[in-house]
Chain A
Amino acid sequence: MNDGTGEKRDIHRRKLRKITELSLGIPIIAICLLVSPLLNSFTKSDGQTEFAFVMIYIFGVWGALILMAFIMSRLLSSGADKR
C-alpha cells in the first residue's frame, strides 16, 4: 500500500516538475519568436516588408502565448493544489 501511494506521489511530483519546466519554455519561445531575426524573414527582395504577414505573425504568436499561458496557469495551480 505504502509503496503504491509513494510511487503515485513520485509520479505526481515528476509531472509537476515537468509542468514547471514547461512553463519556462513559454518565455523562451516568446523571446525566440518575437525578439529574433525571424521577424526579418518577412522582408521582401525589394527591401519592403510584407505588412499583413508581419501583423498576422506578431499577433498570432502573441495570441498563442496567451493561450499557452492560460493552459499553463491552470496546470500549475491545479498541480500546486494537489501538492
Chain B
Amino acid sequence: MLSSNVIATICLIYVGILFAVAGLAERRARQGKIGFLQSPLIYTLSISVYCTAWTFYGSVGSAALNGFEFLTIYLGPTIVFVGWWWFLRKLVRIGRTQRITSIADLISSRYGKSNTLGVIVTLLAIFGSTPYIALQLQSLTLSFAVFTEGSNSETSPTITALFIAAGLALFTILFGTRNLDANERHHGVVTAIALEAIVKLIALISVGIFVVWGVSGGPSNTLVLMETRLPLAEDIFAPRWVTLTFLSATAIICLPRMFQVIVVENSAEKHLATASWAFPLYLLLMCIFVMPIAATGLNILPEGANPDLFVLTIPLAENRITLAALAFLGGFSSATSMVIVAAIALSTMASNHIVLPLWLYAVKKRNPESDDVRTVLLRSRRISIACIIGFGYLYFILTGGTSALASIGLIAFLGVSQVLPALIGALFWRNATRKGAIWGISTGFLIWAYTSFLPSFGGDFILNQNILQNGPYDISFLRPQALFGITIIDALTHAVFWSIFLNTIVFVVISLLTTPSPLERLQAQKFINVYGQNSNFRSVGDGVTPDDLFLLAQRILGRNDANLLFTQFSKKQGRQGLPEINIELMETLESKFAGSVGAATAHSMITQAVGNQSITVEDLIAVADETVQGIEYSTRLEEQSKKLTKSGDELRIVNNKLTKLSTQKDDFLSQVSHELRTPMTSIRSFSEILQSDKTLDKKQLQYFSTIINDESQRLTRLLDEILDLSFLESGQVKLNLSDVNLSTVLQTALQSTQQAVLNANAKINVNIDWVENTLNTDVDRLSQVFINLITNAVKYNNKEQPELQISGKKTDGNLNLIFEDNGPGIPKSEQPIIFEKFTKLSNATSTSGVGLGLAISQEIMKNLGGALTCLDSEDGAKFLVTIPIT
C-alpha cells in the first residue's frame, strides 16, 4: 500500500514537473519560439480540459449505475465538433477579430457592449462553476483517502482539500496572470494542461488495458461480464438521453473554461479543423474502457464499494501499486486542469465585468490619474482566482461528502447553458437585442435555480420539503419539479425543458418587441458578417490629445507596450514624438484594451477619453443592413442617371448652338460668295469684251474700263469690310483711344459725307448742347459709325429733301445720340434683322451697299463699350447710339 507521504511526494514531484513545463513554455514563448506551443496538437489536448475528474472517476460510476447513459456527455461535444464549420468556426473567428476575453465578454460585446449583460453572465458562470470546482476538490480528497484509509496517517479531508486548493490557486495565479492580455494566450498554462491531458488519457487507457487483459481475461470475457453486470435500460433512446446529449453539446460551447480554451486560447483557425476530428477521437479513447472497468469493478470488488473510485481501487485490489499511482495522477490531472482553467476564465470575467467597472466608478470621483489600471487589473484577477477557488472550497466544506455533489455536474451544465439562446442569437440573429438577452438569460437563470439548483439541496436550502412536494403556499401549479402541473418523470429533463424553453421564448419575444440601439446594430453587423469583416468607422473626437491617450494606454497596457505601440504609429505617420490621433489608432487601442479589460470597459474608456458617445454617419452606414445599402445604392444610381441626363441636356444645347453656328457660317459663306460673284461677273464680262472686241472706240474703252475699275474697288471694299467685321467680331481689332470732343468726331463725319449730302440735297440738323463734352474713344471708328448712319439716312431716302435730325441726351455714364430721318423707315418686322450681315431692306431703293454697314457699326459700338440700336418711330428710321463717358 502506498503511504500518504509517498502519494504526497508523487503529487509534489508531478506538480513540480507541471511548474517546470509551464515555466519553460512561458520562456520559449517570450523568446518567440512558439512553433510547437501553437500546434494543433496542443490546442486539441487543451480542449480535453472538458474531461474533468467527473469524467475520470465519475463516468465509471455512472456506467456502473446507469449503463450507456454516460456516453451522452461525450456524444454531444462530438456532434458540435464534427459540425465545427457551421458554429465553432464562427465563434472562434468572432473571438479572434473582436478580441473576446470570455463568454461574458462575447455576450456583452455583441449586445451593444452592455456591462449589465457582462455582470449577469459572470454571476451565472460563477454560480454554475462553484459547485463544479467543489466537485473536483471532492474527487481529489476521495482519491487521497483511498490511499490513507486505515493507516494512522489519515488526514482530514478538509485539510487535504485546503492544501490542494491553495496549491491550485498558487499555480493559477503564477501562470494565469502573468500577462494581462488574454489574447496573448497563456502558453504556460495551456502547455501544462496539454501534458495533463496526455497523463489522464494514458492513465485511463492503462487501467483499461490492465482490466480487460489482466483482470477479466480478454475482450470476450469482458463482454460477457459487461452484459451480466451492467444495468441496461429497456430503451436507450429516451427523453433523458436527448436531454443529456443536448446539455453536453451546449456545455462544450457555454462553459467558461471551454470557451477559454476553444476560443480565447485559439491561435489559428485551422487548429479547429484538426480538433474537429482529434477531439472526438480523444473522447472516444477516454470512453472505450469505461464500461469494462465498471463491469470488472462490480465483479471483483466487494458489494458497496464506491463505483466512482473503481479506476483507483481495481489496481489497488490487484496490488498494482505503480498502476494505481498512475491512475491517481490521471485523476489529479483531470481535477487540477479543470480548476486552473475555470479559475482563469472566471477571474477574467469577474475582474473585467465587476471589479474594474466598480474601480473606475470609484476612482473617477477621486483622482483618475492616481493609480495604474494595470496593477488594479492584475491584483483584482489574482484576488478573483483566490476567491473563486475559495468559493469552491467553501461549497465543498458546506456540502462535503454528500451525494448531492455527484449530480451537481449536470446541474452546473444546465446553469451555464442559459447563455445558449443569447449566444446563438448573437451569432446568427440580427434583430436580437440587449433587452431580449438580459430578460431571456434572467428568466432561464431563475427557472434553473427554482427547478434544479435549489431542489438539489434536497429541501435544506431556501426551498423546504413542503414546497418541493406541494409547491409554494400549496399551489401545486408551481411545484418546482412539476411546473404548470405537467409531470415530467426525470427532474433534469423537466428543468432543461422549462428553463431553455422559457428562456428562448422570452429572448425572442422581447427582442422582437424592442429596437436595437445603433451600437447594438453595429456590433450585430460585425458579429454576423464576421467572415466579410472589414474595418469599422468611428469619428475622431476633437477633445482628446495624444498625451491623454498615451497616458491611458500606459496605464492599461503598461509603459513598454504603450511606448512600442505609439512609436509604431508615429513612424507610420512619419512624425516625431506622439502620433496624430486617427481612427486607426483609436481602433487599435480599443482592441488592445479589449484584450485586457473586455470590450465593454475598453469601449467606455475610449469613448470617455474621446468624450464622444455619439455614432457617426459612417457608423450608421456600416450598421445599415442590406436593405439600407440597397437603398443607398439605388439612390446613387439615380443620382448618376440624373447627372447623365443633365449632361445630355447640356450636350444637346451645345450641339444646337453648334449646328446654328454652322448654318450661320454656311449662310455667311454663301452670302459672301454671292456678293463677290456680282462684281466678279461684271469685271469678267467687261474684260472679255475688251479682249475680244478690237473695234471699240476710245469712249467705249473708257466706259468699260471705268466699270471694271469701279467693280474692283467695290470688291476690295467688300473684302475690307468682311475683314474688318471679322476682326471686330473676334475682338482682335486694335482701338486707338484718345481724348476727343464729340463735336470733333461729328465734324469729321459731316465733312466726309458732305458730298453725298449735297448731291441728295439733304439737310442735317445737329441739336446737341453738350457737344463740347470730352470722350475717351477711337475717333476714326466712332466717326465711321456716324458716317454710316448719315450715309444710310441720305442714301435710302426717297423724299425730295432728305432730313436728318441728330439730337443728344445725357444719362448717367452714357451719351445717347439719336439719328432720326424722314425716310421710308424700317418696318417693325425687319427691325430685328437689320444688324445681320448682308441684310438689305426689302423696300431699299439703292443697291450700291453690300449690307455690312450696320453690322460693322454695331460691332464697333460694342468694341467701344457702347451700343447701336434701332428704335421704333412713326415715320423714318430712328437709331440710338450709346457712348460711354469715361
Q: Which residues of A contact B (CB under 8 A)?
A: 20, 23-24, 26-27, 30-31, 34-40, 42-43, 47-49, 51-52, 54-55, 58-59, 62-63, 65-70, 72-73, 76-77
Contacts and interface: CB of A to CB of B under 8 A. Distances in A.
B473 interface: no
Interface residues of B, number: 34
A39 B236 contact: yes
B537 interface: no
Given A76-B273, A77-B270, A49 B241 contact: no
A73 B345 CA distance: 29
Interface string B235-268: 1110001100100000000000000000000000
B85 A24 contact: yes
B59 to A, nearest CB: 14
A39 B235 CA distance: 8
Interface stretch (B16-24, B224-232, B743-751): B224-232
B284 A66 contact: yes
Contacts of A37: 237
Interface stretch (B164-172, B275-283, B510-518, B708-716): B275-283
B232 A48 contact: yes
Contacts of A48: 232, 234
Contacts of A73: 273-274, 276-277
Looking at chain A's contact residues, the main secondary structure is helix
Contacts of A69: 81-82, 276-277, 280
Contacts of A36: 237
Nearest to B68: A54
Contacts of B245: 34-35
B142 interface: no
B82 A30 contact: yes
Nearest to B284: A62
A83 to B, nearest CB: 12
B75 A26 contact: no
A47 B75 CA distance: 25
B288 interface: yes
Contacts of A70: 277
B68 A30 contact: no
A49 B232 contact: yes
A35 to B, nearest CB: 5
A65 B82 contact: yes
A49 B85 contact: no
Nearest to A27: B83
Contacts of A59: 284, 288
Rank and list the top 10 A-B pairs by shortest CB-CB distance, nearest first: A27-B83, A69-B277, A73-B273, A70-B277, A39-B237, A69-B82, A51-B227, A39-B236, A23-B85, A26-B82
Nearest to B89: A76
Interface string B278-302: 0011001000100100000000000
A66 B281 contact: yes
A48 B234 CA distance: 6
Contacts of B276: 69, 72-73
Given A35-B245, A39-B241, A62-B280, A54 B83 contact: no
28 contacts: A23-B86, A24-B85, A26-B82, A27-B86, A30-B79, A30-B83, A31-B79, A34-B79, A34-B245, A35-B75, A35-B241, A42-B236, A43-B236, A49-B233, A49-B236, A51-B226, A51-B230, A52-B227, A55-B223, A58-B71, A58-B75, A62-B284, A66-B82, A69-B81, A70-B277, A73-B276, A77-B270, A77-B273
A43 B67 CA distance: 14
A30 B277 CA distance: 13
Contacts of B280: 62, 65-66, 69
B291 A55 contact: yes
B78 interface: yes
Contacts of B235: 39-40, 43
A73 B237 CA distance: 30
B853 to A, nearest CB: 69
A65 B281 CA distance: 9
Given A39-B237, A40-B237, A66-B78, 18 more contacts: A24-B83, A24-B85, A24-B86, A27-B83, A30-B75, A30-B82, A31-B79, A34-B75, A35-B245, A37-B237, A39-B235, A40-B236, A49-B233, A49-B234, A51-B227, A51-B232, A62-B284, A77-B273
B78 A76 contact: no
Contacts of B277: 66-67, 69-70, 73
A66 to B, nearest CB: 5
Nearest to A81: B270
Contacts of B291: 55
A43 B234 contact: yes
A31 B80 CA distance: 10
A65 B227 CA distance: 26
A76 B234 contact: no
A27 B79 contact: yes
Nearest to B283: A62
Contacts of B86: 23-24, 27
Contacts of A66: 78, 82, 277, 280-281, 284
A72 to B, nearest CB: 8
A58 B230 CA distance: 17
Contacts of A63: 284
B223 A51 contact: yes
A40 B277 CA distance: 27
B36 to A, nearest CB: 20
A52 B222 CA distance: 11
B550 to A, nearest CB: 40
A20 B75 CA distance: 22
A39 B270 CA distance: 34
A65 B84 CA distance: 13
A24 B276 CA distance: 13
Contact of B75 (A54, A62, A77): A62
Interface string B71-102: 10001001111110110000000000000000
Contacts of B79: 27, 30-31, 34-35
Contacts of A31: 79
A44 to B, nearest CB: 10
A51 to B, nearest CB: 4
